Amino acid sequence: MIVLGLSGALKHDPSAALMIDGEIVAAAEEERFIRDKHAKDRLPLKSARFCLEYAGVKASDVDYVAFPYAPISIFSPARWAYSRGYWYAPDRVLDALLNGNRRFRAHRRNVIGLGESLGIDWDRAEFVPVEHHLSHASSAYHLSGFTDKCAILGVDGKGEYATTFFGYGEEGRIHKIKEFYDPHSLGGLYGAMTEYLGFEMLDGEYKVMGMAPYGDPSRYDLSRLIEPRGKGFAVNTQYANVVGLRRHKDDGQAFYFTDKLIEWLGPRRVGDAADDPYIHYAASMQDLFEHWVQKLIDEYLADVLAETGKLAFAGGGALNVKLNQRLLARDDLDELFVQPASGDSGTALGAASYVAVTKGDNVQAMQHAYLGPRYDNDACLAALQAHTGQCRWRQMTDPVAETADVLAAGHPVAWFHGRMEFGPRALGGRSILGCPNSPGIADRINEQIKFRERWRPFCPSMLDRIAPEILQTDHPAPYMTITFDVAEAWKTRIPEVVHEDGTARAQVVDESSNPRYYALLEAMEQRTGNGVLLNTSLNRRGEPMVCSPTDALNMFFGSDLEYLVLEDWLVTKDD
């Protein structure tokens, strides 16, 4: 059975994923191919073509096209809850009640047209819509590898109407316990405060999370932003998660918070500095987010967790690594699986896995996130020969040893190897690497290469056999989705990857998933005594992660990087 998953219903982060007989064959975000961050208002045309070509599958052979956005009945509580929440915007209320599936119909037409462009045989293939949060849930549960019953959590901005999902998985089926609906969205509130703190939604949430450890959450009480309502919660729309005339406007831009928030907290933050009071607002928002997710888990998932000890988590909120650390510290949680592509790009994979299961396939667990394109040495050489920048290159006889020598000497290295990662994290396929005990290398990469805020932290990649000593746990951590407290003895050994609060968002590398990257870590261990590398994505601020050798060369010449490893080729700008 061939299932093609396509996402992009929420007008950002379109992607494609291909499953054949229950196995993930390929998955990629559209932004990587068109070089436009989040690929807003685009369809996953190039990413879908890649998936089919990589698998050697004709579009006309596809059995099902899965799409993570579905029609919602007027008899569902979703449209009525939405209408009550936006009572002050009558146009939204009428649209939800009288024409609530308008967007779905438009998306369906777009996907049918995209399929025709790809060569899908719609007389043979079936278009299958899957509710957005069921797609998130499937991407976590069905790909987690959990064979027994487990709890499922989804925290997102919103899908069709739902924003937050609580359920459980058992024997391949997903059971819904509770959903909350827009405007009552924990992810949406975090996004609105992200805007207030001077960042853009979709990217800036990570910056708020990175800023939070510099602040004191007790300095400012933001609890009025969320009000208890029965066993659940309600976002206070006097301050945030608003539409229409309630939105604060500045220089022609409208935000998802109100003038009342400005009156309460002061002007919106501008600039790159992490300063008072905004660092404390960030800390308080992070604390509030963690508090309410935990409170809702206690209400709706405690029984399942007490029975199983397992939680599968997806949605944009699942990329909040500080939250995930707190979840893992729960007494009733033994194992946490966070989908590495937890944002909306991952719903292509989730919709595909959901359809595959419902149509009878035995879906296999996700083994790794290296699901994008790969380029061999010949393709890299062709890109080098075609590039107009003045550079030198040579083919290395021992790429691992020679790269380790450069890193151990204190130089950052752009590392391009194997298949591109699916999801927002660089995992040793498209990475900028550094030696984590080289003083100042994090500041250098921030200021001269990535051109981003200097207080932003970096992540460590580490050998699996030393990770338990560093992280003080043997819990799986292959995808940089959880922070851990770094052991005291290691804080001074790898200071460039330890954050302000003593934690690190770690990638634990096993040899089977990426043999060359594992060998590089071992080579660094031989040279420095630490089998650890500083690892950040191969891109500049505001750009997608690089995909092709040409992308890597453009990024290389647009920064102060001095060394680029393209598979076996070492590229430099001078002798």
427-to-321, 337, 418, 424 alpha-carbon distances in Å:
16, 17, 11, 9
CB 225 within 8 A of CB 291: no
Residue 191 gets the label, from left (phi > 0), alpha (psi -120 to 50) or beta, of alpha
Measured over the CA atoms of residue 518, residue 519, residue 520 and residue 526, the dihedral's sign is positive
381, two tokens: 């050489």
Owner of token pair 């919103």: 158
Q: How many CB atoms lie within 10 A of CB 419?
A: 19
Q: How far apart are the first and last CA of the chain?
A: 53
Type of residue found at 329: A
562, two tokens: 């001095």
Q: How many CB atoms lie within 10 A of CB 77?
A: 14
459, two tokens: 């992540």
∠ CA 352-356-360, nearest 5°, is 170
Pairing of strands 249-250, 253-254: antiparallel
Owner of token pair 């207030």: 196
Separation of alpha carbons 111 and 67, rounded Å: 8
Q: How many CB atoms lie within 10 A of CB 5?
A: 35
Separation of alpha carbons 532 and 437, rounded Å: 9
Which candidate in 12, 107, 142, 411 is catalytic?
A: 12
12 is catalytic: yes
**Hey, what's the torsion of the CAs at 219, 325, 153, 97, to 10 degrees?**
30
Pairing of strands 2-7, 253-254: unpaired
**In sequence order, what DSSP letters do the residues of 467-512 get, joined into one string?**
HHHHHS-----SSS--EEEPPHHHHTTSGGG--TTSEEE-EEE-TT
CB 152 within 8 A of CB 217: no
CB 289 within 8 A of CB 190: yes
The catalytic residue positions are 12
